[in-house]
Structure 1
Amino acid sequence: MTRVDAWTWSVRLFKTRSAAATACRGGHVRINGVTAKPAQTVVPGDEVRVWAGGRERIVEVVQLLSKRVGPSVAATAMIDRSPPPPPKELFAAVPVRDRGAGRPTKRDRREMEKLRGQTPPTP
């Protein structure tokens, strides 16, 4: 049996083990539909859902790993059933200021906040 934080790190779903443990504590990792704690164990056949990098990854455990392995070995340790990532055209374009335009004015800042959907703080 292997801890879920160690397994998700070893199959390269997270960059570091501490990031995997933090995601577990934050409720971003589920095993068979139940929110997982970092020390919860996984067994072959479990479905692991991970919310990371702005998308959900759905993988099935095939092989238990506790040490980080290469990408080719990691690919054989899981079956990836994730939906394809959304196309980049769906993401809103981030407004870019011209180089050398200087610091945004109060008016510019309010327009940027309006685009982002943020409301200014009330005094």
Structure 2
Amino acid sequence: MRIDKYLWCVRYFKTRSLATTACNKGQVKINGSVAKASKEVIITDKITLRKDQIDYEFKVNDIPKSRVGAKLVDIYRTDLTPKEAFEAREMQRLSQDYYRKKGSGRPTKKDRRDIDDFYEDSEDAW
């Protein structure tokens, strides 16, 4: 089975064309080498996929006939992704929402002064 079709079947991508695009960008590796979308996947291949700033790693256990349900995905692959990758992504997401909520508009005069004070203090540290 082609790698783009496999990634679509085991629900890493919503459409097969998204999987193909990821392969063309070099975000998919099979056994350490960059894979084109037409590369064939065999059982015991180790696949590394870069998606949403996370490097997913998994091993192919079996080849599905067609797209499988979310509950059946673990039959066809073994997830080897370290938990630290997910924790780092979560910390990055939380750090972006720390100061201001998205869509809260421009900073107020007080916010602007606090930002300026922060940058002045950081320059003194150098």
TM-score, structure 1 normalization:
0.73
Deviation at 1:37, TM superposition (A): 0.3
- In structure 1, the residue matched to 2:21 is 22
Q: Tell me whether 1:77 sits opposite 2:76 in the alignment.
A: yes
Rg (Cα) greater in structure:
2
- In structure 1, the residue matched to 2:60 is 61
* Paired AA for residue 86 in structure 1: E
Q: Tell me whether 1:86 sits opposite 2:87 in the alignment.
A: yes
* Paired AA for residue 31 in structure 1: I
CA distance in 1 between partners of 2:26 and 2:101 (Å): 36
- In structure 1, the residue matched to 2:2 is 3
- In structure 2, the residue matched to 1:96 is 100
Q: Which structure has more RCO (C-alpha within 8 Å, separation ≥ 6)?
A: 1
- In structure 2, the residue matched to 1:118 is none
Question: Which is worse superposed, 71-80 or 33-42?
Answer: 71-80
Q: 3-state DSSP class of the match of 1:86?
A: helix
Cα gap change, 1:74 to 1:98, in 2 (>3 Å)? closer
Deviation at 1:97, TM superposition (A): 6.0
Cα gap change, 1:40 to 1:96, in 2 (>3 Å)? same
Q: Which blocks of at least 5 consecutive residues in structure 2 are unaligned?
A: 120-126
Cα gap change, 1:66 to 1:22, in 2 (>3 Å)? farther
Cα gap change, 1:96 to 1:63, in 2 (>3 Å)? same
Cα gap change, 1:7 to 1:66, in 2 (>3 Å)? farther
CA distance in 2 between partners of 1:78 and 1:33 (Å): 17
Question: How many equivalent pairs are there?
Answer: 106
CA distance in 1 between partners of 2:103 and 2:30 (Å): 47
Q: 3-state DSSP class of the match of 2:96?
A: coil
Cα gap change, 1:26 to 1:97, in 2 (>3 Å)? same
CA distance in 1 between partners of 2:37 and 2:60 (Å): 16
Alpha-carbon RMSD = 2.6
